[in-house]
Amino acid sequence: MRESKSMSETATAPVLTAKDFATDQEVRWCPGCGDYSILAQVQKVMPTLGIPRENIVIISGIGCSSRFPYYMNTYGMHSIHGRATAIASGLKASRPELSVWIVSGDGDSLSIGGNHTIHLLRRNFDVNLLVFNNQIYGLTKGQYSPTSEENKVTKSTPFGSIDHPFNPLALAMGADASFVARTMDRDPKHLQAMLLRTNQHKGASFLEIYQNCNIFNDGAFEVFTEKGSKAQETLFLEQGKPLLFGAGSDKGIKLDGFTPKVVNLADGYSADDLWIHDEQDIYKAQILTRIFDDPKVEGHLPRPFGVFYENDRPCYEEIMALQIEDAKARKTADLDALLKGKETWTIV
Amino acid sequence: MARKQEVLQDVVIKFAGDSGDGMQLTGTQFTNNTALLGIDLSTFPDFPAEIRAPIGTIPGVSGFQLRFSSDRVFTPGDACDVLVAMNAAALKANLGALKKGGKIIVNTDGFDSKNLRLANYPDGENPLENGSLENYEVIRIDVTKMTREALKEFQMGMKEKDRAKNMFVLGFLYWLYGRDMSNTTDFLKEKFGKKPDILDSNMKVLQAGYNYGDTTEAFAITYKVEKAKMPSGTYRSVMGNQSLAYGLIAAAQVSGLPMFLGTYPITPASDILHELSRHKNFGIRTFQAEDEIAAITSAIGASYGGALGVTTTSGPGMALKAEAMGLAVMLEVPLVIINVQRGGPSTGLPTKTEQSDLLQAYYGRNGECPMPVISASTPADCFEAVYEAVRISVQHMTPVIFLSDGYIANGAEPWKFPATADLPPIHVKFKTELGHGEEKLQPYLRDEKLARPWAVPGTAGLEHRIGGLEKQNITGNISYDPENHQLMVKIRQEKVDKIAEYIPEQKIDSGAAKGKVLVLGWGSTFGAIKSAVSELIAAGHEVSHAHLRYVRPFPKNLGEILKSFDTVLVPEINNGQLIKILRDVYLVDAKPYNKIMGVPITKTELVEEIRKYL
Ligand SMILES: Cc1ncc(C[n+]2csc(CCOP(=O)(O)OP(=O)(O)O)c2C)c(N)n1
Ligand code: SF4
Ligand SMILES: [Mg+2]
């Protein structure tokens, strides 16, 4: 895959590597920031996509995460807080052939830009929205974000946050996103796989990436990412496969009516008894996104990662282009006729 | 029946009725009919703020003022000669604007006790009966009854029948002004071709109104207004928002740029969206965004991709776009931001006109954030003015603010539309490859206009990143260097100032190049100033009129012009905005004339004001 040539280019197009996607700009994230890993995986995946570099555009908002475009040797725009999704919509609408990626933080896309995010998803522009969720405002130095857990003590919530957080994937489902997935910075393989899937999906892809902000919210996702707890606390979704987790996949999830339940395979359950993952099933996907338990709470379910939902439906920019083609076929664009209108009079 | 026909020079008719009475349609039809005869005209629709204000009340009155003349006209008229009042509220709301001795054509059915009460007439008072209208010529017609009568054979409900009432009035007016009705019958056929019942009933009632005039002995005179002496050529009637939309389409066609409109509906700008969305065959993409922020930012995205990004709005929407305008200034991409102004602040007076967003256009953004500002002065002028806005935007790589207002947007006038071949070219350069010796793109390397290259995604070898952070001169890399910031602020300002070298010098519209009083205006005050100044010049006074299209930067010679007059008078429909800038830029002791009532300045009041300085 890595070696594959650009499809739209001639056979002589140079084979690109991750290096070709790096820029000469000094990367300015804090040492240890999860953003580094995401950047590395994106730079690795990009050359494998078969997309000429000049056709790739990365649009970001404002936040630590939104510095991303400066480090990618593609076209890029570091815009204003919360609006990357809307900018990308206009770009994609007028240039459907471009591969448009949006890089955004939890504050950027779910707080100030929440409105544009849901509208981008419902319209289903064929773009890739990467939400770097660190459950904190990094750039402004550590205020709670709309994904921060309740009671969180931050600079702006010394007595604990009283906000109820968003469940980003449930929100995306609610906005009728056609692709909904979750991954994490600390699992490069999975992250790469999810980036590939995100790119493959035709339509608006919502990829939430758990990202550690080691300065203001260190360890927020530790239970999911660290060796000791990862197997117990995470559930990796695979199409057509039973929902298994735990050390040696000794546990599974079974649907009891509409309620997911943990079962031990040792108790005589087999894979056939378990929930089989089907990315196309919108009802099950809704339930999956609702598996969002606080890992500190007794009897909680493991947090799912992977592709929750994928659905093929027409993209906005395609329909828009079709309408224009239709209109052109029906009526030639005659500017003189337009300016003249129906009724004129002549003065001699 | 042979009638005496009187020739009139200038007539102002106000059509007024309940919002549901179809007065806008009646007015528009009569306007088109008038235009087709080569009579000069100007219109002013006056909508209620609420779409469905309570029926029969004063807030529910919808008006349409039409002035037509065998002379050139530049305003819809200060006072009316004829008032069509479909109900008591319409009479009450408009009587003040009727000239003494003027005609009132009333629908008597709209003056029953219920209508009188809804119009807040005191109990037992009926203006049609209490002698209060004795200074006017009142023509009473029971329009409702006669409409029903004309439709008695029709199998339709009473409500449906009553809907054709406005056609009766229109037919009667056509008769009164000696008109042929074919434009309206054609219109009805096109509009209701698929609904034969409605078509037939409207045609029937239209004819009944005409016949009523023709056969009723009471009306002894019909009127005629001759063709106006206008420059030769072929004309059409056009409304402001419409000609603005056409100007954008034309500019897109001529420049070869695909147009992208990102917008969110708001009065009085929505009609631009409505118009543009009908012309997809010109390759126009219209995007009704989720809000004004998405509207402008999507347009920025489109411009970044090489399209002609346009966004349209009115005051409140303009406020929401402010941050993104700053981004466009930093990115230095073309973008046309259209503000069809209305009364403010906040939601203000949505359906009323005002020029109160000029300072916002000039200064209403964070940071040192200069943008060119272009304004339109009449409905037809929107075409040329917005065409210029596009030219400046794409050739100077800058967002441009375009100011129109509610009065221009909804007004109509004859337009000597151009032939496509005569439109000035708009050359657009995209950067397609690295320059000689360039190793990678220098996104902020400028040309003689100080414009930076437009290098769009998809162009191999020019990959680069831009953004809203301050950037190093030439390379575009992020820079927090103090000297560099000052340099960049100065460059962005100079770039806008330099546009003055690429726009025409300011002309004097009427009067001499120097003298006692210069009346300097911008935007929709054009007609009133022109009429007032012409009148005073004819009376032998030393008055001149200049009207700005380019409000930022000002034309190079404006300072000279200001110095050539003893007094500079600046009438504005705001609390004094252009005048502040003029005083600031030219240290001129200009005099304000401000009216902030949501309505245009009239010629009469302006004549009076100018006289103070003569
Ligand atoms: C209009 C506006 N409001 C506020 C800010 C300040 N601000 C910048 S980034 C940010 C939040 C960033 O949080 P997030 O989107 O989660 O990104 P992160 O830094 O965590 O990657 C805020 C509040 C801004 N730049 N612009
Ligand atoms: S503040 Fe947090 S998110 Fe921002 S760069 Fe530092 S570690 Fe990363
Ligand atoms: Mg964050």
Q: Are A77 and A47 in contact (CB under 8 A)?
A: no
CA of A209, closest CA in chain B: separation in Å?
23
Q: Measure B180 CA to ligand 2 centroid, in angstroms.
A: 76
Q: Measure B315 CA to ligand 1 centroid, in angstroms.
A: 27
Q: Do B235 and A344 touch (CB under 8 A)?
A: yes
User: Smallest Cα–Cα separation from A284: which of A252, A310, A315?
Assistant: A310
CA of A32, closest CA in chain B: separation in Å?
23
Q: What is the pLDDT of residue B217?
A: 79
Q: What is the pLDDT of residue A13?
A: 61
Whether a cis peptide bond, with omega within 30° of 0, leads into B268 is: yes
Ligand nearest, relative to CA of residue A35: 2
Q: Measure A192 CA to ligand 3 centroid, in angstroms.
A: 21
Q: Do B297 and A339 touch (CB under 8 A)?
A: no
Closest atom, ligand 2, to C-alpha of A217 = 2
Q: Do A70 and B324 touch (CB under 8 A)?
A: no
Q: What is the pLDDT of residue A12?
A: 55
Q: Do A54 and B460 touch (CB under 8 A)?
A: yes
Predicted confidence (pLDDT) per residue in B430-443, tens digit: 999 999 888 999 99
Mean pLDDT, residues B487-500:
98
Closest atom, ligand 1, to C-alpha of A61 = 15
Predicted confidence (pLDDT) per residue in B265-312, tens digit: 999 999 999 999 999 999 999 999 999 999 999 999 999 999 999 999
Q: Is the CB of A233 under 6 A from ligand 1?
A: no
Strand partners, A233: none
For B294, which of A119, A336, A345 is closest by C-beta distance?
Answer: A119
Using the predicted structure, report yes or no on whether residue A239 has a pLDDT greater than 60.
yes
Q: Do A115 and B294 touch (CB under 8 A)?
A: yes
Predicted confidence (pLDDT) per residue in B308-326, tens digit: 999 999 999 999 999 999 9
- At A6, the pLDDT band (50, 70, 90 cuts) reads very low
Q: Is the CB of A137 under 6 A from ligand 1?
A: yes
Strand partners, B543: B517
Q: Measure B65 CA to ligand 2 centroid, in angstroms.
A: 63
pTM of the model: 0.94
- What mean pLDDT value characterizes chain A? 95
Q: Is the CB of A35 under 6 A from ligand 2?
A: yes
CA of B434, closest CA in chain A: separation in Å?
14
Q: Do B305 and A94 touch (CB under 8 A)?
A: yes
Q: Is the CB of A181 under 6 A from ligand 2?
A: no
Ligand nearest, relative to CA of residue A139: 1
- At B3, the pLDDT band (50, 70, 90 cuts) reads confident
Q: Do B287 and A89 touch (CB under 8 A)?
A: yes
Q: Do B281 and A330 touch (CB under 8 A)?
A: yes
Question: How much is the ipTM here?
Answer: 0.96
Q: What is the pLDDT of residue B476?
A: 96
Weakest mean pLDDT among A121-125, A326-330, A341-345, B7-11? A341-345
Closest atom, ligand 2, to C-alpha of A105 = 3
**Other Cβ atoms within 10 Å of B215 Cβ, number:** 10
Tell me which fold the domain B236-420 belongs to. Answer: Rossmann fold (3.40.50)
Q: Which residues of A touch B459 (CB under 8 A)?
A: 54
Q: Measure A134 CA to ligand 2 centroid, in angstroms.
A: 9
Q: Do B250 and A97 touch (CB under 8 A)?
A: no
Residue of A nearest to B283 (CA): A324
Q: Which residues of A touch B326 (CB under 8 A)?
A: 80
Under the phi-then-psi rule, with left for phi > 0, alpha for psi from -120 to 50, and beta for the rest, what region is B510? beta
Q: Do A345 and B231 touch (CB under 8 A)?
A: no
Q: Is the CB of A213 under 6 A from ligand 2?
A: yes
Predicted confidence (pLDDT) per residue in B73-100, tens digit: 999 999 999 999 999 999 999 999 999 9
CA of B44, closest CA in chain A: separation in Å?
20
Q: Measure B320 CA to ligand 2 centroid, in angstroms.
A: 30
Predicted confidence (pLDDT) per residue in B329-375, tens digit: 999 999 999 999 999 999 999 999 999 999 999 999 999 999 999 99
Where in chain B are the domains? 4-225, 236-420, 429-503, 515-611
Q: Do A328 and B466 touch (CB under 8 A)?
A: no
- At A10, the pLDDT band (50, 70, 90 cuts) reads very low
Q: Is the CB of A108 under 6 A from ligand 2?
A: no
Q: Which residues of B touch A53 (CB under 8 A)?
A: 460, 463
Q: Which residues of B touch A83 (CB under 8 A)?
A: 293-294, 297, 324, 327
- At A163, the pLDDT band (50, 70, 90 cuts) reads very high
Residue with tokens 């239209």: B206
For B468, which of A70, A80, A344 is closest by C-beta distance?
Answer: A80
Using the predicted structure, report yes or no on whether residue A11 has a pLDDT greater than 50.
no
The CB-side HSE value for B576 (13 A sphere, CA atoms) comes to: 9
Using the predicted structure, report yes or no on whether residue A9 has a pLDDT greater than 70.
no
For A335, which of B35, B420, B477 is closest by C-beta distance?
Answer: B420
Mean pLDDT, residues A146-173:
97
Mean pLDDT, residues A235-257:
97
Using the predicted structure, report yes or no on whether residue B19 has a pLDDT greater than 90.
no
Closest atom, ligand 2, to C-alpha of A141 = 1
Q: Are B402 and B339 in contact (CB under 8 A)?
A: yes
Q: Do B280 and A324 touch (CB under 8 A)?
A: yes
Protein residue closest via CA to atom 5 of ligand 2: A29
CA distance B548 to B505: 10
User: Smallest Cα–Cα separation from A307: which of A221, A223, A239, A233?
Assistant: A239
Q: Is the CB of A173 under 6 A from ligand 2?
A: no
Q: Which residues of B touch A315 (CB under 8 A)?
A: none
Q: Measure B323 CA to ligand 1 centroid, in angstroms.
A: 14
Q: Are B358 and B364 in contact (CB under 8 A)?
A: no
Ligand nearest, relative to CA of residue A141: 2
Using the predicted structure, report yes or no on whether residue B143 has a pLDDT greater than 70.
yes
| Superfamily (CATH H level) for B4-225 | Pyruvate-ferredoxin oxidoreductase, PFOR, domain III (3.40.920.10)
Domains B4-225 and B236-420 share a fold: no
Q: Which residues of A touch B236 (CB under 8 A)?
A: 340-341, 343-345
Q: What is the pLDDT of residue A8?
A: 46
Q: Is the CB of A126 under 6 A from ligand 2?
A: no
Domains and CATH numbers, chain A: 18-220+314-322 (3.40.50.970)
Protein residue closest via CA to atom 4 of ligand 1: A81
Which of the 8 DSSP states describes residue B284?
A: -
Q: Measure A292 CA to ligand 2 centroid, in angstroms.
A: 24
Whether a cis peptide bond, with omega within 30° of 0, leads into B334 is: no
Read off φ and ψ for residue A264, nearest 5 degrees: -95, 125
Q: What is the pLDDT of residue B144?
A: 94
Q: Is the CB of A64 under 6 A from ligand 1?
A: yes
User: Smallest Cα–Cα separation from B342: which of B275, B266, B272?
Assistant: B266
- What mean pLDDT value characterizes chain B? 96
Query: Which two tokens mark A100?
Result: 């448009």
Name the architecture of domain B515-611.
3-Layer(aba) Sandwich (3.40)
Q: Do B234 and A340 touch (CB under 8 A)?
A: yes
